[in-house]
Copies of this chain bind each other. A is one copy, B any other.
Amino acid sequence: MTTPTPQSRRRRQVLSRERIIEAAVGLLDTAGAGALTVRALSERLSTGSGAIYHHVGNMGELLQAATESVVVAALPTPQESTTDPGTEDTGRERIRAAALGLYDAVAEHPWLAVQLAVQVTRSPWGAVTPRIFESIGGCVRTLGVPRSDWFATTSTLVHYILGATSQNAQPSDTADDVGVPRSGARRAEFLDSVSKAWKSLDAGDHPFLHDIADQMRGHDDREQFLTGIDLILAGITAVSRPS
Contact = CB atoms under 8 A, between A and B. Distances in A.
A93 to B, nearest CB: 18
A207 interface: yes
A196 to B, nearest CB: 9
Interface string A124-149: 11000010011001100100000110
Interface of A: 78, 82, 113-114, 117-118, 120-125, 130, 133-134, 137-138, 141, 147-148, 150-156, 158-164, 166-169, 171, 173-174, 193-194, 197-198, 201, 205-209, 211-212, 215-216, 219, 224, 227-228, 230-239, 243
Nearest to A243: B243
Copies of the chain in the assembly:
2
Query: Chain A interface mostly helix, strand, loop or mixed?
Result: helix
A151 B212 contact: yes
B171 A122 contact: yes
A106 to B, nearest CB: 10
Nearest to A210: B134
Given A117-B113, A118-B114, A150 B82 contact: no
